[in-house]
A and B are shown apart, each in its own frame.
Chain A
């Protein structure tokens, strides 16, 4: 039999059309966990724990009425996004009000809205109050929002890339690499006063170290396991604990700097100013853009590499692109704030419960909710023991760790 035809018939309708449909309305998903088709029939466990927050778990799944098996999601992604935006604005407002010098609520809200283009309110704030807001509160609030947004979205992206709900900057070597590099600079490199081309040496080192940590994990994971997602995470954990031990050794040998290193390892926004915001913004924009553009790709990756490939994607390349962009986000966040754990883990999981697993909604929602979460956590960090400050990583972990356990509990039916 000879070759047949020049082109495969596919009877397909429109090719790569560019519609205007509300992208996020439909489709989209990918949660970390994947269930194989079970030819023996679905067991109760398959349905357990991966529904919305209120889902009953376990064997009664089979007897649940049909409507309950439908995911509880916002009918309209637009509403979800608007609600999250409102939450973020409220969080920013509350955080701007909190502090030693009292500011009037209404005036502050108006002053915040004035930052938007084409908005002008007569705020009634005094020049001093406006100065406090602009020069003291806002840089910190904005930086915290930015970092929270970056960490949360990067977490969601990592979880999509690795198809594992526990992936986070902490588990893939980014935080460890950044922490190690920053420690080295603090101990041996002259400390935070040191600058390099106008940029603080510590943020710069953290940035490079974060990327190097991910790269090391990736190379190691590829070497030992042909780049499978499980081996990448295991490699990340190996790199993290190895680097962590080296770091502990360095800190041991230089007790004078331990306090400084510690304050950095648990994150802080005390140094926040507009300069740091400006420093972070370009990297943040690039990484957020790249990650967001690959939302649907992440949905397809959730089906596994083979099926993603037969659907026309190159899973390895997409994983690499999104991984690089998310790591850029993490490195940027770590560089300006130190290591802040749990945001990247907790926020995407909460969002997923509300918005479903589709990345076209999950990614932007994580940005908004992550920003709101961290801005409030920072408010707590600087007011709880005022005038002393808690490291922000302590606050997020205090909230995050118990939550983490709850996630594990709620999703235990999916363990394989």
Chain B
């Protein structure tokens, strides 16, 4: 049980208010997409939910206030994949993914065979088994993104926070990663909150969406409710068409400008 409930979340960075009272709720076992233009505060919201930013208001994960959770307990509850993860170039892929087991280890961090098995399965699920002994510095951008995801999966937390998890992935791997997350959601009851720039993908995978603009949630609901032509045009300042994929989910297209 790891649903999220946030009420009136306000965050200031460097004393500058970034989030101005955001409400949102994610049912346990569902996928929630946070959308919005650059600088809207999506990453900030995710970091607040992850418990690594001080915030005002309330954020509950699995019924417990995030701010009051002990770090280790929080880490068993919430896994977070940042938009720009830091990867030490000399570390191997296997070593990195095993660090995902940290919240399950004692103070000295001694890994058991089980821990290694869990990490091994995470590698497998992301097609990375053959890369286990490679240095992170020798991985491509998309491979690294999958490595980071594997580390988050090795954490075995009930809530997965993904900040732009597919930006560097090719089409096939985008689908593979999103399908994997979707499968974990349905088979293991994982709750997923992700930011996604691709609105059509968000419409495909997310049960519910929140549109964040200027630190405020301006729309919330299913893809059909949130992704209307007028709203996207207004908030993104883009010329777009919203079509239907035939199964009731919107598909967002850019419309080319007149200039050559």
Interface set of A (CB-CB < 8 Å, partner B): 1-21, 23, 26-31, 33-42, 46-47, 50-51, 61, 66, 69-71, 293, 295-297, 299-300, 302-304, 306-307, 309-314, 352, 356-358, 414
Contact = CB atoms under 8 A, between A and B. Distances in A.
B114 to A, nearest CB: 5
B156 A17 contact: no
Nearest to B143: A42
25 contacts: A1-B3, A1-B5, A4-B2, A12-B76, A13-B156, A18-B106, A19-B113, A27-B99, A29-B91, A31-B89, A33-B90, A42-B138, A42-B144, A296-B109, A297-B109, A299-B99, A299-B109, A306-B80, A307-B80, A310-B51, A312-B103, A313-B71, A313-B102, A356-B90, A414-B89
* Residue with the highest number of chain B CB atoms closer than 10 Å, among A17, A295, A304: A17
A3 B60 contact: yes
The 3 A-B pairs at the shortest CB distance, nearest first, are namely A5-B1, A312-B75, A296-B109
Contacts of B189: 9
B135 A312 contact: no
A28 B75 CA distance: 19
Given A4-B5, A310-B78, A311-B99, 8 more contacts: A1-B25, A6-B62, A7-B1, A26-B111, A37-B144, A42-B138, A47-B138, A312-B76
Contact of B137 (A26, A46, A293, A313): A46
Contacts of A15: 104
Interface string B103-137: 11111111111111010000000000000011111
A293 B137 CA distance: 27
A29 B88 contact: yes
Interface in B9-25: 25
A306 B79 CA distance: 12
Contacts, number: 262
A314 B71 CA distance: 7
Given A71-B135, A306-B52, A312-B76, A5 B28 contact: yes
A19 B134 contact: no
Contact of B140 (A4, A41, A303, A356): A41
B106 A4 contact: no
Interface residues of B, number: 81
Interface string B181-214: 0000000110000000000000000000000000
B87 interface: yes
Contacts of B51: 309-310
B96 interface: yes
B12 to A, nearest CB: 14
Contacts of A14: 104, 112, 114-115
A69 B156 contact: no
Contacts of B77: 8, 10
A8 B95 contact: no
B58 to A, nearest CB: 10
A302 B140 contact: no
B42 interface: no
A312 B134 contact: no
B112 A8 contact: no
B205 to A, nearest CB: 20
B94 interface: yes
A217 to B, nearest CB: 23
B141 A303 contact: no
A41 B138 CA distance: 11
B85 A10 contact: no
Contacts of A312: 71-76, 102-103
B1 A357 contact: no
B168 interface: yes
Contact of B91 (A17, A18, A30, A314): A30
B35 interface: no
A39 B85 contact: no
Contacts of B89: 31, 33-35, 46-47, 50, 414
A296 B28 contact: no
* Residue with the highest number of chain B CB atoms closer than 10 Å, among A2, A7, A15, A295: A7
A312 B101 CA distance: 10
B86 A311 contact: no
A8 B113 contact: no
A39 B168 contact: yes
B61 to A, nearest CB: 6
A146 to B, nearest CB: 25
Contacts of B47: 306
B92 interface: yes
Contacts of A27: 94-95, 98-99, 111
Nearest to A41: B141
Contacts of A38: 141, 144, 168
A42 B109 contact: no
Contacts of B105: 16-17, 296
Given A71-B92, A310-B78, A293 B108 contact: yes
A47 B135 contact: yes
* Residue with the highest number of chain B CB atoms closer than 10 Å, among A20, A42, A312: A312
Contact of B90 (A37, A66, A352): A352
A129 B213 CA distance: 83
Nearest to B50: A310
Given A8-B1, A8-B61, A40-B141, A19 B111 contact: yes
B148 interface: yes
A334 to B, nearest CB: 29
B224 to A, nearest CB: 20
A36 B137 contact: no
